[in-house]
A and B are shown apart, each in its own frame.
Chain A
Amino acid sequence: MERAIKEDLRKRAGNIETCYQCGMCVGDCPAARFSNFNIRRIVGRFLLCSLGDIFERENIWDCLLCFECAMKCPRSINPALFIINLRYAGVLLQDINTLLKMSKIIKFAENIMETGLSVPLTDNLINLQREVGIPPRSVSEDALRDVKRIFEKSEALEYMKKVSRNV
């Protein structure tokens, strides 16, 4: 299973094999400046080692997804997107650290599914909008139905279960 997931990741990561370990991606990486996270090392490990090895030895959650690395790489590799895909692989492989981190934030997806918005509306907000005279926010029944359909048809429900099952 790990092999298939790694193969899929390799495809999604596109030109990552052209990485020549120059380290340009690390220079302005905020995570590298403030922790021992090293995106060049992680890319290198991906090319040489198993995914299990990465999950065990690297904290892929230190990445802020700021895309600074993608703006710097001379090979047009997008290491930030690669990190997103690594985290997806972590969920599929049920990596416990990935699942623990995800469990702290999965609420936002549930919010979207249930209310159409990542942060549900509050009475305070609606009252304020009324008071100042902008149209008070609401999400229509049609929109809610469409959102449910999107989550169902894209197999998001199964995916979200994978995140919460083991935590």
Chain B
Amino acid sequence: MSNDRDFSIIRETVPFFLFRPCVQAHPGIEVATYFVLKFLDIPFLMSDDQTCCGFPTFFWNMSPPEVMVSLCARNMLLAKSLACKAVLVVCNACYTAFNHALRELSNNEDLARRIAEIIGRTPDDVNDLDVDIFHVPEMFYAFKDEILRRMRFSLEGLRVAVHYGCHYRRELMFRKFDDHKNPRFVDELLSDLGAEVVDYSEKNLCCGGSGIQSRVHYELSENICIRKLESIHRVGADMIVVWCPACMYRLDICQRDLYKSGKIDFQIPVLHLSQLIGLVLGLNPRTQLCLHLHAISTQPLLEKIKEIWVKI
């Protein structure tokens, strides 16, 4: 199914510049990504010169559009200065911000000049960024052979609901790793790791977060989230996998709140894809994946993966 899709370019862009997320309600996202990359011997760098990608400044209208493009360009130039050919993100918002900035710059000379002036670089620097952007799902897919070779636990018997996230599907429209209307490649990756990937009717529905919706329009946001969760619950999923700290916040922390207030009567553990891959590779669920720091206990999940049986 995925034979015609070319993930191999991703392998050629190491070392990655690992882009650290701002939203840290689940510190395990970053921790797991770090340890999985190390375990798989995939080279990467990090830097304290990194800042936020600027997503909220444009997508939430908090500053003129140039701010986000400038922050992205500056971070990409930082990656380039460290001899990284690609930025690796763990968040759908970062993914969207960088890709959007690249698209804006690529067909607008005036903008490139303006951004160069704002960040104090030459227009040539900005025109010739030559840095690619990858997200963990396509990166893990590109390193599937290594994961299969080094896996310690199979996901056999585990019913997994995959949430791609709106902003990820939207970028697939341009990045073309898969069909953005019905992406399957992560389902396929997880099936290869033994999981039983379940289809559910609201697979493409937003998590309800959208960053600001939960602040400016709580009820709408909550209703969307409930609809999504119920659809996942109906098909009997043991867990949900996401690759965005914002979706994770919504589906884990808000799910717990919905449960506490009696609006739903179930709790489904939510993992970031990096954490799930880490489990498969046998990394320590507590010290390398931080699975004890979730709102909804991940313990039942660990018990389901028969061989693991650890208490976190």
Contacts and interface: CB of A to CB of B under 8 A. Distances in A.
The answer on A and B forming one complex is yes
Main secondary structure of the interface of A (DSSP, over half): helix
Interface in A80-121: 84, 87-88, 91, 101-102, 104-106, 108-109, 112, 116-119, 121
Interface residues of A, number: 58
A118 B71 contact: no
A120 to B, nearest CB: 9
Contacts, number: 162
B118 A150 contact: yes
Contacts of B63: 109, 151, 154, 156, 159-160
Given A35-B220, A105-B56, A149 B119 contact: yes
Contacts of A34: 220, 223-224, 227
A157 to B, nearest CB: 9
A138 interface: yes
Interface string B26-60: 01001100110000000000101111101111111
Given A66-B210, A71-B180, A142 B49 contact: yes
B62 interface: yes
A143 B48 contact: yes
Interface of B: 20, 22-24, 27, 30-31, 34-35, 46, 48-52, 54-67, 70-71, 74, 117-120, 166-167, 169-170, 173, 180-181, 204-206, 208, 210, 212-213, 215-217, 220-221, 223-224, 227, 287-288, 290
**Residue among B46, B51, B180, B204 with max Cβ neighbours from chain A (10 Å):** B51
Contacts of A117: 22, 51-52
Nearest to A101: B216
6 shortest A-B CB distances, which residue pairs?
A109-B62, A66-B166, A64-B210, A67-B170, A156-B63, A154-B66
A39 to B, nearest CB: 14
Given A119-B22, A139-B48, A71 B220 contact: no
Given A149-B120, A150-B118, A108 B49 contact: no
Given A35-B220, A112-B51, A139-B51, A71 B62 contact: no
Interface in A130-151: 131-132, 134-135, 137-140, 142-143, 146-147, 149-151
Contacts of B206: 30, 64, 66, 68
A155 interface: yes
**Residue among B58, B70, B173 with max Cβ neighbours from chain A (10 Å):** B70
A132 B223 CA distance: 37
Nearest to B172: A71
Interface of A: 28, 30-31, 33-35, 61-62, 64-68, 70-71, 84, 87-88, 91, 101-102, 104-106, 108-109, 112, 116-119, 121-122, 125, 128-129, 131-132, 134-135, 137-140, 142-143, 146-147, 149-151, 153-156, 159-160, 163
Given A116-B51, A125-B27, 5 more contacts: A33-B224, A64-B221, A112-B71, A129-B31, A146-B119
**Residue among B24, B204, B223, B288 with max Cβ neighbours from chain A (10 Å):** B24
16 contacts: A31-B220, A34-B224, A34-B227, A65-B59, A101-B216, A105-B60, A109-B63, A116-B51, A117-B22, A143-B48, A143-B51, A146-B119, A147-B51, A150-B67, A150-B70, A156-B67
Contacts of B167: 66-67
Nearest to B118: A153
B34 A134 contact: yes
A12 to B, nearest CB: 9
Nearest to B69: A154
Given A67-B167, A105-B62, A139-B51, A151 B67 contact: yes
B13 to A, nearest CB: 22
A149 B73 CA distance: 14
A159 B27 contact: no
A97 B15 CA distance: 47
A34 B219 CA distance: 9
B290 A140 contact: no
B106 to A, nearest CB: 15
A80 B67 CA distance: 19
A151 to B, nearest CB: 7
**Residue among A30, A35, A138 with max Cβ neighbours from chain B (10 Å):** A30
B62 A160 contact: yes
